[in-house]
Amino acid sequence: MAQIRVKTTWFKKGEGQRDFDETASVVAATIWKMADRAVINLSQADYDIITPQRGFTIMGELMAFMLHLSDRMLHERVADDERAALVQATGKRLAEIVERNIHDVVGDDGFDYQANFIDMLNRRAQDYADFDFSADKPDFPVLRYLGNRICDIMGERDQPWIIDQIMELETPQILETLQKTINGLFNPT
């Protein structure tokens, strides 16, 4: 699996606290890159990502997982109201990135992809909130839930194997990269 480059530090130090939009853009870009890389990895592992719709849907599930994981990673580092604002700004920025990329691939068909994506993020946030897991290493039930969400998207040929691929190969890389980004942008506790 190829490594992806992500921002882990601010280059201009001494400028004070970064605003939510700037930080959210960095976190959103990292999440987008990791979701894109995971879909490329799945395709290279001979999983059938037959349509752009399937690829974007898989990426959406991965991004919802990573956004929630980011929220958990920030829990001890950022005050609750600031964390909520940052997560919301990141979700909004992700929705903009998703819509722009869908339009680049399939054109502007008039569908509100941003609203649809935010609705999905809210549903998944409620689902993930029911799980008890550490941000350092999400446990089996939450990873299994993510694997099952992606399994539901895949064709019948890939369903027996995709959950293991997600749990054992994709999420460890996602966790490592996301942790590096969060640690770099926010001092670890």
Nearest to 89 by CA among 27, 10, 35: 27
For 130-148, the pLDDT digits (tens) are 998 887 788 999 999 999 9
Percent of all residues in the chain with a pLDDT value above 70, rounded to a whole number: 89
Which residue type sits at 46?
D
Residue 2 scores a pLDDT above 80? no
140-165 in b/e burial notation, b at 16+ Cβ within 10 A?
A: eebbbbbbebbbebbeeebeeebbeb
- Ramachandran bin of 107, using left for φ above 0, alpha for ψ from -120 to 50, beta for the remaining angles: left
Mean pLDDT for all residues in the chain: 89
Q: How large is the average pLDDT for residues 60-66?
A: 98
Q: What is the pLDDT of residue 20?
A: 74
Residue 9 scores a pLDDT above 90? no
Is the pTM above the cut of 0.85? yes
For 150-167, the pLDDT digits (tens) are 999 999 999 999 999 999
* φ, ψ for residue 79, nearest 5 deg: -60, 150
For 10-59, the pLDDT digits (tens) are 555 554 456 778 889 999 999 999 999 999 999 999 999 989 999 999 99
Residue matched to tokens 């604002």 = 85
Q: What is the pLDDT of residue 76?
A: 84
pLDDT band at 114 (very low <50, low <70, confident <90, very high): very high
pLDDT band at 8 (very low <50, low <70, confident <90, very high): low
Q: What is the pLDDT of residue 60?
A: 98
